[in-house]
Amino acid sequence: MLLALFLALLLERDVGNGVASVNLDQYNQHMSWIDRPTALTRLGVKPQTLYAYVSRGHIASRPHDSDPRSSLYSLEDIETFLKRRRAGRARSAVAKAAISWGDPVMETGITTVRSGRLIYRGEDALALSEQMTLEAVAAWLWQTDETPIPEDPDPKPITSASGKARLLSFLADEAAHAPHGLGRDPSDLKTDAAHLLHGAATAITGQTGPAPFHEKLAQVWQLDARGADLVRRALVLVADHELNPSTFAARVAASTGAPLAASALAGCATLTGPLHGEASARALAYLRAALETSPEDALSAIASRGERIPAVGHALYPAGDPRAAALLRWLKPDAALKRAIRAAEQASGETANVDMALAALTLALDLPGDAPFLIFASGRMAGWIAHAIEQHSSGQLIRPRATYTGS
């Protein structure tokens, strides 16, 4: 039913403001595309094999410009696939490459990145973010018809100093007392999921009641209607993102039969790392320095420390992160903030990613310093839980092997 509610959202390039923004046409121009007969000839396979390569994420495809019933296929992906096949890579090399942005290692029906677009169960995440709350997107990801607002009492307030500490404490307490997920009925898991998302909102904000997550955050942060809507959109856009480190950690925990709360705790703990959920903190530090002095001085300081420019580029988006493009377009940052973002893009040769957008949102709305992490963790709760439920349904234990390099 949700499929009929949302139209595809087209992004336009805003050349004048210097803020990263990318659309599907840019991605298509960046890539070379060939028709099906040519792809079959190059690969030397039957059509059904080509379709299997596409479904497994080996080869990207898109609708044909002149015939929407036909498809075009990425020449770059085909050439890469053929090189691997000709090289006859050893199993160990394939496994090693898969650890870091390599070939897909498991199947999921939840999220993918396709032709530069983030897809939630077949729907464009940007289109969903136009109207949906995090709770509605959670219901979409969990495949339930009901918005996840539980009827059980609100959890007891947690008095830790920071929102991050309160969230981790809430999840740890839930994980210690919740029943394991092995063999439980899917409807019971979804009841647990609703309790977790609702409880996370209460733990972070201290606000009780059935209000949506973004409204509770907006009340604590004293935002007006526009600010609250920007937070709502951000929560939706970070709700899931394929098999990222924190989601993989959540799935590993779920594969053991651990409670949903333990899976969410594993995901949240992984998110605290500076190379994942805390990447926005580095972007926020850069933007603050750029506004206090100048972008040039801030970038020079980063270079003098031997560090990379934060929050630019993304391996899954060769033409730019659409989440960042959308958030920055909706935010309309002032001239100084635009200049700082543009300087980072020009110095790195890459476009701003969602971590930069969350940092910019924090400054523009005068949010507390931990706001990027709290937005990321709050939104991603929906995705961690979705992946944990999916992993429980598979009944498979995730247990990879390691290559021994000792004596």
User: Looking at the annotation, which residues are catalytic?
Assistant: 314, 355
Measured at the alpha carbon of residue 325, what is the angle toward residues 319 and 329, in degrees to the nearest 5?
Answer: 150
Structure tokens at 177: 């007392």
Sorted by sequence, the CB contacts under 8 Å of residue 91 that are 6+ apart come out as none
Regarding beta strands 61-63 and 71-74, do their DSSP bridges make them parallel or antiparallel, or are they unpaired? antiparallel
d(Cα 241, Cα 246) in Å, to the nearest integer? Answer: 10
Q: Tell me the two tokens of residue 191.
A: 């009841």
How far apart (Å, rounded) are the C-alpha atoms in residues 171 and 34?
49
Residue type, 267: G
How far is Cα 222 from Cα 230, in angstroms, rounded to an integer?
Answer: 13
Distance of CA 324 to the CA centre of its chain: 11
On the CB side of 270, CA atoms within 13 Å amount to 20
Neighbours of 174 (CB within 10 A): 22
Which DSSP symbol is given to 307? P
Torsion of CA 328, 333, 335, 337, to 10 degrees: -80
Helix locations, 70-162, DSSP H: 75-87, 91-98, 125-129, 134-142
Judge residue 148's burial from the number of C-beta atoms within 10 Å of its C-beta, 0-12 exposed, 13-18 middle, 19 or more buried. Answer: buried
The sheet that has 111-114: what strands, in order across it? Answer: 111-114, 117-120, 123-124
Q: Residue 92, Cβ neighbours under 10 Å: how many?
A: 10
AA identity, residue 349: G
Phi first, then psi, for residue 369 (nearest 5°) are -65, -25
Q: Give the bridge partners for 112, in sequence order.
A: 119
Angle between helix 322-331 and helix 354-364 axes, rounded to 10 deg: 20
